[in-house]
Amino acid sequence: MPEHVLVPIDGSPQSTEALERATDLFPEARITLLYVADPTEEESGLLEGPGGGASGERDRDRAERLFEAATAGLDAPDATIETEVVTGSPWREIVEYVEREVVDHVVMGSHGRDGAARLLLGSVAELVVRRSSAPVTVVK
């Protein structure tokens, strides 16, 4: 049974479903919700660097709102849930977090892109599945 489970949170219904699945599958594990502020996205203001000024504050505030929304209706009274915010490329930060924090399992949502959208944008879930040293469960 995994002791430490990572659930990346991005505000999508799939990431909320991933959290629900993680608490169902691993009720006794320590669960870390990870928000990755991607400096290449317009909504992220981290072009000046991680944690920098008002932009970094805006990303931390957004992450807190997403964490609260994801856990709001969660029926997991015994769950141990922690949160982390990092900055960078989502798939790379997730994979590096798995290594750095000794994560036993990743449960993450998939946005279900296919065809041209997947080729142009890439698939964070697919890259994590390919590169993570921990097993990954993808929730559609």
- List strand residue ranges (DSSP E) for the chain, in order: 4-8, 30-37, 80-87, 105-109, 136-139
60-85 confidence digits (pLDDT tens): 999 999 999 999 989 988 889 999 99
- φ, ψ of residue 32 in degrees (nearest 5): -110, 125
Is CATH 3.40.50.620 what the domain over 4-139 is classified as, yes or no? Answer: yes
85-114 confidence digits (pLDDT tens): 999 999 999 999 999 999 999 999 987 555
Structural domain boundaries in the chain? 4-139
